[in-house]
Amino acid sequence: MKHSLALKSQLKLNYCKVLQMLPFSSKVIGPPKGYATDIKEYVESYNSRKPSHPHTFWDFGKGSYTVPHPKKIWGNTDPVEEEVCHYHDFVVSLHKGRLISIPYSVISNDDVLLSELSDSVDTPAALNPIFFHHRLPKTMYLKGKAFVLGTLKDDNNYAHWLTEVLPKLHLLEQANIDLNEIDHFLLRTYRSGFVKEHLAYLGIPEEKIRIIDDKIASERDLTKATNSSPYWHVEADELIVTSVFWKPECWMGDYLKKLYLEEQKSPIQIFDRIYVRRHKTNGRNVVNEENLLNVLKKFGFAIIEAEKYTQKEKALLFNRAKVVVAPHGAGMANLIFCEPNTQVLELRAKGHSSYIIDEFRQLCAALQLDFSLFICKGVGVPSQYNTGANLDLMVDVEAFESMLSELLESEYMKK
């Protein structure tokens, strides 16, 4: 079966390679003519060949940070390795650039896939999914400047929104590009209340929003994916794209705190210690939460449901907290508003720990927060695609109380 699929895939790729040789743009037939793996080198080469309509590249440099072992860990049988996260920040403005939402691809006007800005970055550029498609969706032309504000995967996820969408605006500021100059903001979705709240707060008018993916499709095959959006494949006079935020970056906390905390009074009650509930969600709920809450209340924790607060209120709540306890989930993205040295204790199912990216451990490392991990018994049936990721949690309350007591004692000793 695997051999048959591999052969079919190779034949499809060979057919598309023949189409690449035809004297037609991929807007007409076939995939893009080639690819570039280094955006900076590509822009320099392109501008030397076509100086009359140059692309513009703003390079804001590279950075890195070390993700240490958790400060404390309980219940884990898998090794938790240290890692070093690297990042490179830039903005590029492409003359007559194109964007396809599925598979997410940025294509230049000379029909080159810019793989550094496209999906499947871990796949060899020559095997990018776009090269297996003999006909791309019809192109929608956008007059003026179009800014790719959305993510590669899902704008409907709050954590991705905070760490992958909003930081793009900082890079736009660094490039001295005024939001008011943008004619089109390209997003995957406009369904969620938090998306509408943020865009209204930022002053981005609804009439400038272009939805490039009306349905988040798990099927990456263009021939099978469903997407009725007319903006599935767009070409703009000027397509503005930022670097992709694969990992949290060290400056993100300062930027978002400046965005949501400046000149803000304290209209809500704030707490030193908070527990962030996952309430009525699909997966990662604490099944014995009442017992857990009894322990937390004994240690003076306030129990909050983040979705009941406005964004500015959430920013303030997390910024003033000294200790945060939470099950793994999007609400933990609000850690981005915390101050350095805040104590963070994440609850996670056992099957979850061995395969999923440690995004919140990375976030804590980037922001200099003290991260600890409590592994719980997973409850439920793992899904085919997320083995362990969405299991509910059964907390060993006695062990949790002991670990929490140690953490709070260490917090007290620092004062």
Q: How many CB atoms sit inside 10 A of residue 6's CB?
A: 10
Residue-wise pLDDT tens digits, 144-155? 999 999 887 667
Same domain for 219 and 341, yes or no, is no
One domain, residues 233 and 295: no
Which residues lie closer than 8 Å to 258 by C-beta, 6 or more apart?
none
Query: CA-to-CA distance for 244 and 205, rounded, in angstroms?
Result: 24
In a domain, 336, yes or no: yes
Give the end of a domain, one of 193, 218, 242.
242
Are 177 and 216 within one domain?
yes
Q: What pLDDT shows up at residue 244?
A: 92
State the pLDDT at residue 240.
98
Tokens of 104: 């997410």
In eight-state DSSP terms, residue 309 is: S
Residue, of 384 and 91, whose pLDDT is higher: 91
pLDDT tens profile 162-212? 999 999 999 999 999 999 999 999 988 777 788 889 999 999 999 999 888
Residue 344 phi, psi (nearest 5): -125, 130
- Report the C-alpha gap between 330 and 389 in whole angstroms: 13
In a domain, 168, yes or no: yes
Examine the pLDDT at 1 and tell me if it is beyond 60: no
How many CB atoms sit inside 10 A of residue 223's CB?
Answer: 9
- 338 and 395 both lie in a single domain: yes
pLDDT number for residue 134: 84
- The residue type at 192: S
Question: Is the model more confident about 227 or about 202?
Answer: 202
Mark whether 227 and 339 lie in a shared domain.
Answer: no
Inside any domain, residue 66 = no
Which of 213, 242, 271 is a domain's end point?
A: 242
CA neighbor of 102 nearest in space, from 240, 219, 228, 15: 219
Q: Are residues 288 and 399 in the same domain?
A: yes
Residue 147 resides in a domain: yes
Output the domain CATH number for residue 384.
Answer: 3.40.50
Do 286 and 163 reside in the same domain of the chain?
no
Q: Is residue 90 part of a domain?
A: no
Give the pLDDT mean for 78-104. 89
Same domain, 237 and 259: no
Q: Are residues 281 and 205 in the same domain?
A: no
Residues 334 and 216 grouped into a single domain = no
Instruction: With respect to residue 73, please indicate whether it lies within any of the assigned structural domains.
Output: no
Q: Tell me the HSE value of 169 on the side-chain side, using a 13 A CA sphere.
A: 17
Q: Over the stretch 316-325, which tens digit does the pLDDT of each residue have?
A: 999 999 999 9
Residue ending a domain, among 183, 207, 242, is: 242
Domain that holds residue 302: 255-414
Q: Is the CB of residue 235 less than 8 Å from the CB of residue 139? A: yes
The rounded mean pLDDT for the chain is: 85
- Verify that 227 and 311 share a domain, yes or no: no
Is 268 contained in some domain? yes
Q: Which of 95-99, 178-182, 338-342, 388-392 has the lowest mean pLDDT?
A: 388-392
> What's the rounded Cα separation, in Å, for the pair 327 and 325?
7
My answer on whether 169 and 106 are in the same domain is yes
Question: Which pLDDT score is estimated for 10?
Answer: 74
Indicate the pTM of the whole model: 0.89
Token pair 């076939």: residue: 30
pLDDT value at residue 103:
82
Domain count within the chain: 2
Pairwise pLDDT comparison (229 vs 309), residue with the higher score = 309
In a domain, 212, yes or no: yes
Q: What pLDDT score was predicted for residue 7? A: 66
Q: Considering only residues 380 and 97, tell me which one the structure prediction assigns the higher pLDDT.
A: 97
Task: Name the band, by pLDDT with cuts 50, 70 and 90, for residue 222.
Answer: very low
pLDDT, position 150: 87
